[in-house]
């Protein structure tokens, strides 16, 4: 009976039609604010979860109070949902109700008196410079895919681009003669990032030797292409980086942002100021960039202990 009930609950949840106001809000995020598909999918999951919970409570979405929201968040905590996830979900609810009141869809915003739970920022694990060098040298530079992989890794480490920014980078936004790349980041915000000589050298080699043999006679708008000559996906690139790291014998746990973290931390270790790193990463808030100062200080402390005679 319990199994049958669980199956029925899942079926009901799947069949739950999104409230028109949520659909309008998601359309607004997509059209007016230009959020990425991944971000839109996260908003949709969070708001669908909230609507499903309201349905179980027989509470209309336009009758929600602060007490209703507190009950919802409490239920999630009791189910073992992580604080990071709850903070993101509450942020989605706040944005949804702010938009709904502004557009005259609802009269009151029940999130006004709610405060997001404080979530401790986790310090990202960063590869050492020697590990990055080992990763950069791991692709086979005698094959089209190896040349492509080396060009990707060099560009990521030279510029700090996100994985999504790399795979979506239009061909024409790369200016090798000027040593610059124009990036469209989160929220359609554009930034121009310089790239170094080594990255330029490998990108030129990729464009001359590798890309033509991969795309053949097809036109592909993105700079980097897959083995079958089509635009790459985030998943494809991420798995490729993990496999190359394994080949290089790197034991550090990797994430899609590993080279981005290394880019920022190594810049700070070599004397770059925080504001410059913020601009290069495309962070809208300096506090987001400040996490890397903790990484840099931790690294310096480790080096001191390792090499100082009284460390």
From 257, 270, 275, 297, active-site residue: 257
Instruction: Please report the pLDDT score of residue 41 as a whole number.
Output: 87
Instruction: Please report the pLDDT score of residue 295 as a whole number.
Output: 53
Q: Give the model's confidence band at 6: pLDDT under 50 very low, under 70 low, under 90 confident, else very high.
A: very low
From 81, 88, 186, 299, active-site residue: 186
Nearest CA-CA partner of 162 in 198, 186, 130: 186
Q: What percent of the chain has pLDDT over 90?
A: 29
* Cβ neighbours of 269 (radius 10 Å): 17
CB 259 within 8 A of CB 153: yes
pLDDT at 22 over 80: yes
Q: Which residue's structure tokens are 């496999």? A: 243
From 150, 240, 260, 266, active-site residue: 260
Q: Verify whether residue 292 is a known catalytic residue.
A: yes
Averaged pLDDT for residues 45-49: 92
Instruction: Please report the pLDDT score of residue 44 as a whole number.
Output: 92
Distance, CA of 243 to CA of 53 (rounded, Å): 41
In the three-class reduction of DSSP (H, G, I as helix; E, B as strand; rest coil), residue 127 is classed as coil
- β-bridge partners, 170: 222
Phi (first) and psi of residue 175, to 5 degrees = -120, 90
Instruction: Please report the pLDDT score of residue 9 as a whole number.
Output: 46
Higher pLDDT, 301 or 50: 50
Across 139-148, b (16+ Cβ under 10 Å) vs e yields beeeebeebb
Across 90-117, b (16+ Cβ under 10 Å) vs e yields bebbbbbbebbbeeebbeebbbeebeee
In the three-class reduction of DSSP (H, G, I as helix; E, B as strand; rest coil), residue 219 is classed as coil
pLDDT at 301 over 90: no
Q: Please, how many CA atoms are within 13 Å of residue 56, restricted to the half-sphere of its CB?
A: 14
Averaged pLDDT for residues 289-297: 55
Instruction: Please report the pLDDT score of residue 215 as a whole number.
Output: 92
Instruction: Please report the pLDDT score of residue 155 as a whole number.
Output: 93
Q: Verify whether residue 115 is a known catalytic residue.
A: no
Distance, CA of 56 to CA of 63 (rounded, Å): 14
From 240, 261, 266, 283, active-site residue: 283
Instruction: Please report the pLDDT score of residue 11 as a whole number.
Output: 41
Which of 6-10, 62-66, 262-266 is least confident?
6-10
Instruction: Please report the pLDDT score of residue 175 as a whole number.
Output: 92
Instruction: Please report the pLDDT score of residue 117 as a whole number.
Output: 56
Q: Verify whether residue 275 is a known catalytic residue.
A: no
Please report which helix (H) or strand (E) contains residue 192, including its range: strand 190-194
CB 187 within 8 A of CB 193: no
Q: Please, how many CA atoms are within 13 Å of residue 192, restricted to the half-sphere of its CB?
A: 7
pLDDT at 202 over 90: yes
- β-bridge partners, 181: 174, 193
Q: Verify whether residue 283 is a known catalytic residue.
A: yes
pLDDT at 214 over 60: yes
What are the boundaries of each domain within the chain? Answer: 18-102, 129-307
Provide the CATH topology of domain 129-307: hpI Integrase; Chain A (1.10.443)
What class has domain 18-102? mainly alpha
Distance, CA of 66 to CA of 72 (rounded, Å): 10
Q: Verify whether residue 13 is a known catalytic residue.
A: no
Q: Verify whether residue 206 is a known catalytic residue.
A: no
Max mean pLDDT range (44-53, 248-257, 264-273): 44-53
Which of 17-26, 144-153, 299-308 is least confident?
299-308
Phi (first) and psi of residue 7, to 5 degrees = -65, -40
From 19, 162, 240, 266, active-site residue: 162
Which of 154-163, 169-178, 274-283 is least confident?
274-283
CB 193 within 8 A of CB 183: yes
Averaged pLDDT for residues 275-297: 60
Q: Give the model's confidence band at 273: pLDDT under 50 very low, under 70 low, under 90 confident, else very high.
A: low
- β-bridge partners, 114: none
pLDDT digits (tens, 9 = 90+) for 97-155: 999 999 998 888 888 877 655 554 555 567 788 888 999 999 999 999 999 999 999 99
Question: What is the chain's mean pLDDT, rounded?
Answer: 80
Q: Quick one: tokens of 204?
A: 């030129």
């Amino acid at each position: 009976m319990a199994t049958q009930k669980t199956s029925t609950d899942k079926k009901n949840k799947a069949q739950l039609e999104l409230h028109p106001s949520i659909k309008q809000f998601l359309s607004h995020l997509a059209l007016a604010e230009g959020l990425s598909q991944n971000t839109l999918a996260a908003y949709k999951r969070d708001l669908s979860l909230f609507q499903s919970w309201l349905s179980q409570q027989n509470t209309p979405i336009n009758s929600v109070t602060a007490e209703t929201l507190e009950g919802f968040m409490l239920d999630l905590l009791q189910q073992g949902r992580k604080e990071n996830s709850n903070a993101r979900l509450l942020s989605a609810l706040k944005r949804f109700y702010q938009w709904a009141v502004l557009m005259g869809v609802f009269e009151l915003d029940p999130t006004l008196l709610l405060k997001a739970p404080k979530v401790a920022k986790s310090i990202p694990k960063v590869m050492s410079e020697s590990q990055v060098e080992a990763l950069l040298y791991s692709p086979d530079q005698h094959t089209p895919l190896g040349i492509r992989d080396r060009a990707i890794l060099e560009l990521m480490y030279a510029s700090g681009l996100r994985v999504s920014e790399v795979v979506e980078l239009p061909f024409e936004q790369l200016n090798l003669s000027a040593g610059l790349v124009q990036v469209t980041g989160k929220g359609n915000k554009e930034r121009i990032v310089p790239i170094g000589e080594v990255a330029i050298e490998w990108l030129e080699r990729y464009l001359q030797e590798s890309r033509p043999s991969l795309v053949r006679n097809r036109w592909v708008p993105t700079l980097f292409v897959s083995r079958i000559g089509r635009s790459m996906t985030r998943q494809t690139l991420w798995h490729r980086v993990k496999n190359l790291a394994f080949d290089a014998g790197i034991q550090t746990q990797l994430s899609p942002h590993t080279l981005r973290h290394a880019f920022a931390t190594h810049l700070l270790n070599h004397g770059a100021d925080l504001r410059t790193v913020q601009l290069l990463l495309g962070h809208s808030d300096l506090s987001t960039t400040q996490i890397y100062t903790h990484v840099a200080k931790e690294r310096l402390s480790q080096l001191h202990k390792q090499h100082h005679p009284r460390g």
